[in-house]
């Protein structure tokens, strides 16, 4: 484990170590995306981007899941956490001001967009849950592989918005994108592969080996040539409005509606457990993945 990271493990796999692998390493929290983890993730990506020996980057999760979403535990208000938490302005009822919510959320969107646009081919390797923030993060990779029994979805849409999952209409088409947005439901890795949300779904016992094999096949080309090909592809999606769509989605995610106020009230009065029961009770799902 790189001593400079508390929430990540970085190693090399594949032929001659030409594949860099980042493991989200908070297994006791189902790899919940704390701000400390996200800013470490950003630092790791920035360190790997100019490294010509790393041709492909795989991102996976430690323990039993990829990531069950953003960390909803009380903030530490120190270090990286303080970078976003400094946007704390509130009205007389103690509710966050839109401009401050947007400013803080934008800092996280910037990390996601760097992951999407960096000059390395990236692969998200999903097992267990990739929901809410975990799903958002995975969708920004170039390629996504999943265990057949993995679960992908965004329950946070039941009380708020989303940022980078707004690229789903570019990935899976309008009908299914609307269904997933309006319900917050999750789908299996097998179904995700069938609709084009992920590239492949394999038995969980084969997931790591086959993901590395795919990465190694891509890594037959040198890093600079892969970077050129990625710019070719990403430019098409930029012209289709991916940046404006994600920025707009970030703005909308910062807006509070009657539903998001209901979530905030229950978090304040009864804590996370009560808020999750209120959010997911009508749907009878997500019982073992209590994250945003």
| Residue 1 included in any domain | no
For residues 145 and 24, what is the distance between their CA atoms, to the nearest angstrom?
16
Mean pLDDT of all residues in 180-185: 92
Q: What is the pLDDT at residue 288? A: 53
Task: Name the band, by pLDDT with cuts 50, 70 and 90, for residue 77.
Answer: low
Average pLDDT over residues 34-57: 96
- Answer yes or no: is 3 within a domain: no
Task: Tell me the per-residue pLDDT of 87-124, one tens digit each, with 9 for 90 and over.
Answer: 566 666 666 677 777 888 888 999 999 999 999 999 99
| Average pLDDT of every residue of the chain | 88
Beta strands in the chain (DSSP E): 8-13, 19-24, 56-61, 121-126, 129-131, 143-147, 151-153, 186-188, 200-202
Whether the per-residue pLDDT at 22 is higher than 80: the answer is yes
Residue 176 has pLDDT above 60, yes or no: yes
What residue has token string 């329950």? 155
Distances (CA, A) of 178 to 101, 165, 168, 181, 182: 25, 12, 9, 5, 6
Does any domain span residue 91? yes
**C-alpha to C-alpha distances, 195 to 101, 234, 264, nearest whole angstrom:** 33, 21, 34
Q: How confident is the model at residue 1 (pLDDT cuts 50, 70, 90)?
A: very low
Domains identified in the chain, total number: 1
| Residue 123 located in a structural domain | yes
In a domain, 290, yes or no: no
Strands 186-188 and 129-131: unpaired
**pLDDT for 158:** 87
Strands (E), 27-177: 56-61, 121-126, 129-131, 143-147, 151-153
CATH label of the domain that carries residue 189: 3.90.226.10
What tokens appear for 154 in the block?
Answer: 């965004």
Range of the domain at 149: 8-280
Q: By three-state DSSP, how is residue 87 classified?
A: coil
* Choice between 239 and 94, residue whose per-residue pLDDT is larger: 239
Residue 23 burial (CB count, 10 A): 20
| Radius of gyration in angstroms for the set of CA atoms belonging to the chain, rounded to a whole number | 18
- Which is it for strands 151-153 and 186-188: parallel, antiparallel or unpaired? antiparallel
Distance CA 241, CA 263 (A): 31
Q: Is 67 within the bounds of a domain?
A: yes
Specify if 288 maps to a domain.
no
Position 181 in a domain? yes
């Amino acid at each position: 484990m790189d001593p400079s990271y508390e929430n990540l493990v970085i190693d090399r796999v594949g032929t001659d170590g030409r594949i860099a692998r980042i493991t989200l390493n908070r297994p006791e929290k189902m790899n919940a995306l704390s701000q400390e983890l996200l800013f470490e993730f950003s630092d790791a990506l920035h360190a790997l981007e100019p490294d010509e020996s790393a041709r492909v980057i795989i991102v996976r999760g430690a323990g039993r899941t990829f990531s069950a979403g953003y960390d909803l535990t009380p903030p530490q208000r120190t270090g990286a956490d303080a970078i976003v938490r400094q946007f704390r302005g509130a009205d007389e009822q103690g509710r966050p001001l839109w401009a401050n919510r947007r400013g803080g959320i934008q800092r996280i969107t910037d990390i996601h967009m760097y992951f999407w646009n960096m000059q390395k081919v990236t692969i998200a390797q999903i097992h267990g849950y990739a929901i809410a923030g975990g799903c958002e993060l995975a969708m920004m990779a170039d390629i996504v592989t999943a265990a057949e029994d993995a679960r992908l979805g965004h329950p946070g849409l039941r009380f708020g918005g989303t940022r980078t999952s707004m690229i789903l209409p570019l990935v899976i088409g309008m009908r299914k994108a609307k269904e997933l947005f309006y319900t917050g439901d999750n789908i299996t890795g097998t179904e995700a592969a069938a609709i084009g949300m992920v590239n492949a779904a394999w038995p969980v016992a084969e997931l790591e080996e086959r993901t590395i094999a795919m990465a190694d096949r891509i890594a037959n080309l040198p890093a600079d040539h892969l970077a050129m090909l990625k710019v070719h592809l990403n430019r098409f999606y930029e012209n289709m409005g991916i940046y404006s769509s994600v920025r707009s989605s970030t703005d909308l995610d910062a807006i509070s509606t009657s539903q998001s106020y209901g979530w905030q009230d229950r978090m304040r009065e009864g804590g996370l457990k009560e808020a999750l029961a209120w959010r997911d009770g009508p749907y009878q799902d997500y019982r073992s993945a209590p994250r945003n």
